[in-house]
Structure 1
Amino acid sequence: MNIVHILEDFSFLSGGLRTVVKDLHNRLINNGISSTIITTRKEKDDDVIKVEGGNKPWRFSKNLINKLNFLHSQKNIDIIHIHGVWMYPQYAAAKFAFNNRIPYLISCHGMYEPWLWLNGNFKKKMYFKYVVKNIFSKAKYLHAITLPEAKELRKLFPKTNVVEIPNLIDSKSVKIDAPNLKEKYILYLGRIDKKKGIDILINAFANIDNKNFKLKIAGGFNDYQKELEVLVEKLNLNDKVSFVGLITGVEKEILFKNAFVFVAPSHSEVVGMVNLESAVYGTPVITTKQTGLKKEWSDNGGFLVNPKVNEVQKALQVSLNWSDDERNDNGKKLNSFVTKEYSWEYRFKDWLNLYKSIL
């Protein structure tokens, strides 16, 4: 089986998408399946194929089709797995697959979630309707990460098969060490984006009674961060809130492990890899019902709330009053839940069965 993955961005800036695709790619290779990633952006040491277009509008790439033609001529491509929906690489790959009679699968990664339509622009709606809807509807499957996303995709593509497989994480490779909880802090880590509800977290943090904690916000700097910095200053939180930039590797692992609680109050998300990562590191997670996570999350050391200041504030107030032992117990409980419901060890067979069914 020869599978080619297409996405516009495989760099650290792509956040959870990079983690999802990289893990799937590595699992396939480790199981003797040929897997190749093509992207317009990557990190220096990534063993993937980079085509031009990373800095162009629509990520337009002149040599993407040539690269696909070359790969197909060297060894027939059995499946093209497209990740994302809004950029040229996805559109071009779908057309290439259709024209060459190669089965293709599209993982939408939450990019058609209702909140995004409500807050999107006219141009995106026209792009969907007149450019990609027809060619995407010819995919063998559309992949949804959560049940709500699957329902939304069936509305948008009523004649196309939709399959649901959640985001998965490698839980066995992480060793849960005793955390260093001397520095009491709440953590947000991810893209700095309005969709992520970071302003909700800042406002909720401003209202909590427990003043011993600080808030760390990790993510690559952009224009939206400037708005958040203004909010922090307005709330007189400059000495309590820090923007620590893009954190990766071992530094990221330490930041997760030693946080007292992780908070991701997103307006729209499909599971959210950062929620799973935090849980695997044994850190309790406050996130939103809009992630599509199983409701049992709230019974296993975590909190599922709505993206509203008062609900995030209430969950923070409860969790920050835990003792260190209570915090650790809830983190272990959430780790066990995620290992069972969202780990590659338990669910990789779902991907193998899907690829086999496509062939």
Structure 2
Amino acid sequence: MNILHVVNYFAPCFSAGGVVNAAYQIAKKQVEEGHNVCVYTTDSCQERMKLEHNYNVDVDGIKVFYFKNLSNDVKTKLTIDTPISLIGHLKKHINDFDIIHIHEHRHSLAIATHRYAKKNEIPYVLQAHGSVLPFFQKEKLKEIFDKLWGFDILHDADKVFALTEVEKEQYLKMGVDEEKIEIVPLGINLEEYNSLPDSGKFKSKYNVKEDEKLIVFLGRIHEIKGLDLLIKSFNKIQNDNVKLAIIGGDYGFLDDVKSLMKEFELEEKVIFPGVLIGEDKKEALVDCDIFVMPSRYESFTTSGLEAMACSKPLILTKNNHIHDWVKDNVGLTCEFDEEELANCIETLLNNEELCNTFGKNGRKLIEEKYVWEKVEKEIEGIYTRCIH
């Protein structure tokens, strides 16, 4: 198949979150299966990416077109894409593709792709990655977008991908026909976690004592991730022999987190390694005792899957759509409440046997269900049905 992915950020901008990683992993697996895969994206990241040329960059066999945004500042501050040469390229090349896969839908790349896919009768699937409903920040702007473009982009898709049953219900609320909705989870590359780094490397790099417990958050430093709740809960922990690592890039919330740390005098107990990828990320997961994702809203937690692959227990707020199968199986869940979160953390800090049980269960579940090979095969089957 000739496949086009449309996403407003792409590798190597992994700091932009799970959508980038998901789009990259799916495209990479499709290349490995022998498909011709293109990606249309932009050259934006936290800082504009430095590329020798914007077009036809080979990324692990994926042909990636990084269309230049007129302003990277507008993109990073207002999340508005201005890919000036995208429309001309779509006009010329959209008929080269058998199927189009749009990641998220409230961006200008999706508007243009929808227009020319419909005009040329090219089937497309849409994967909202948790952004189906217009909520959490800029709700009014999202509602306006939906009236102008969003509803059409959703309703004209041949299929839409829901990560969970919760997201399926959100599509239904937006008026999408139930027969168009396919539940397709995310995954990880399990082979990357079959050979893990030796323990102690992360702790050594960041001056964490060998006998100290380590709690890890891994994701964007953004208000939606609930890091203010995590700091408040961490402050309540009755254990002086524990440190917290907040791993990820700043998306406008780092100053708020550090202000809370200063208020609670936690500067010596919280570590900010920045963005970690590859072996550095695995070193952090290997050394952690508990993985925490305290989100205000989360459709899925890819970094949580990575922690599970390292046999680590999870703690999630119930705002995460996957909390139902995490609870008392691979970890603990709680309301978005500092007392409840603190209690969950203390429960695991004080029960090594429970941590080990959750860790083993998590690793087994990854092997059975959440690997990219299985996910990609499911997606390929859906593509085929759309084309025929």
Q: TM-score, normalised by structure 2?
A: 0.85
Q: Is the 8 A contact 1:269 1:292 kept in 2?
A: yes
Question: Secondary structure of the equivalent of 1:287?
Answer: strand
Alignment-mate amino acid for residue 307 of structure 1: F
Alignment-mate amino acid for residue 23 of structure 2: V
Cα deviation digits, residues 253-310 of structure 1 (max 9, x gap): 1111111111001121111111111111222211123222162322333122222212
Question: Which residue does the alignment assign to 2:207?
Answer: none
Tell me the CA shift for residue 313 of structure 1: 0.9
Tell me the CA shift for residue 133 of structure 1: 1.5
Aligned partners of 1:287 and 1:152: how far apart in 2? 21
Alignment-mate amino acid for residue 35 of structure 1: V
Question: Which residue does the alignment assign to 1:348?
Answer: 376
> Mean alpha-carbon deviation: is it higher for 63-72 or for 6-15?
63-72
Q: Is the 8 A contact 2:216 2:291 kept in 1?
A: yes
Q: Is the 8 A contact 1:8 1:39 kept in 2?
A: yes
Q: Is the 8 A contact 2:221 2:248 kept in 1?
A: yes
Structure 2 matches for 1:197-346, cutoff 5 A? 197-293=226-322, 295-323=324-352, 327-346=355-374
Question: Secondary structure of the equivalent of 2:38?
Answer: strand
Q: Is the 8 A contact 2:316 2:323 kept in 1?
A: no
Kindly indicate whether residue 67 of structure 2 is the aligned counterpart of residue 26 of structure 1.
no
Structure 1 pair 176/288, CA: closer, same or farther in 2 (3 Å)? farther
- How many pairs align? 354
Aligned partners of 1:228 and 1:163: how far apart in 2? 38
Alignment-mate amino acid for residue 14 of structure 2: F
Percent of paired sites with the same residue:
27
Aligned partners of 1:342 and 1:292: how far apart in 2? 15
Structure 2 matches for 1:41-60, cutoff 5 A? 41=43, 47=59, 48-53=64-69, 55=72, 56-57=74-75, 58-60=80-82
Kindly indicate whether residue 188 of structure 2 is the aligned counterpart of residue 169 of structure 1.
yes
Question: Secondary structure of the equivalent of 1:252?
Answer: helix
Question: Which residue does the alignment assign to 2:114?
Answer: 94
Tell me the CA shift for residue 344 of structure 1: 2.5
Q: Is the 8 A contact 1:176 1:281 kept in 2?
A: no
Give ranges in structure 2 of 5+ residues lacking alignment: 52-56, 204-209
Cα deviation digits, residues 318-350 of structure 1 (max 9, x gap): 111134x76445323211122223223444332
Tell me the CA shift for residue 118 of structure 1: 5.3
Cα deviation digits, residues 44-100 of structure 1 (max 9, x gap): 686222111171452111211222334346xx2111110012211111111111111
Tell me the CA shift for residue 233 of structure 1: 0.7
Tell me the CA shift for residue 222 of structure 1: 4.1
Tell me the CA shift for residue 119 of structure 1: 4.5
Structure 2 matches for 1:61-72, cutoff 5 A? 61-72=83-94
Aligned partners of 2:306 and 2:85: how far apart in 1? 35
Kindly indicate whether residue 213 of structure 2 is the aligned counterpart of residue 184 of structure 1.
yes
1:38 to 13, 37, 40: 40
Alignment-mate amino acid for residue 147 of structure 1: E
Aligned partners of 1:51 and 1:21: how far apart in 2? 17
Aligned partners of 1:93 and 1:243: how far apart in 2? 39
Aligned partners of 1:64 and 1:130: how far apart in 2? 20
Q: Is the 8 A contact 2:104 2:128 kept in 1?
A: yes
Aligned partners of 2:330 and 2:117: how far apart in 1? 44
Aligned partners of 1:328 and 1:70: how far apart in 2? 55
Alignment-mate amino acid for residue 154 of structure 1: L
Q: Is the 8 A contact 1:168 1:347 kept in 2?
A: yes
Alignment-mate amino acid for residue 67 of structure 1: H
Q: Is the 8 A contact 1:94 1:136 kept in 2?
A: no
Question: Secondary structure of the equivalent of 2:253?
Answer: helix
Tell me the CA shift for residue 249 of structure 1: 2.2
Question: Secondary structure of the equivalent of 1:299?
Answer: coil
Aligned partners of 1:90 and 1:2: how far apart in 2? 19
> Mean alpha-carbon deviation: is it higher for 192-201 or for 279-288?
279-288
Structure 1 pair 257/356, CA: closer, same or farther in 2 (3 Å)? same
Question: Secondary structure of the equivalent of 1:163?
Answer: strand
Question: Secondary structure of the equivalent of 1:117?
Answer: coil
Question: Which residue does the alignment assign to 1:105?
Answer: 125
Question: Which residue does the alignment assign to 1:12?
Answer: 14
Structure 1 pair 79/345, CA: closer, same or farther in 2 (3 Å)? closer
Structure 1 pair 318/356, CA: closer, same or farther in 2 (3 Å)? same
Aligned partners of 1:190 and 1:249: how far apart in 2? 14
Question: Which residue does the alignment assign to 1:124?
Answer: 142
Structure 1 pair 198/274, CA: closer, same or farther in 2 (3 Å)? same
Cα deviation digits, residues 196-240 of structure 1 (max 9, x gap): 111111111100111200111111134311011111111111111
Q: Is the 8 A contact 1:297 1:337 kept in 2?
A: no
Q: Is the 8 A contact 2:127 2:161 kept in 1?
A: yes
Alignment-mate amino acid for residue 179 of structure 1: S
1:138 to 147, 156, 169: 156
Question: Which residue does the alignment assign to 1:157?
Answer: 175
Structure 1 pair 83/347, CA: closer, same or farther in 2 (3 Å)? closer
RMSD: 2.2
Q: TM-score, normalised by structure 1?
A: 0.91
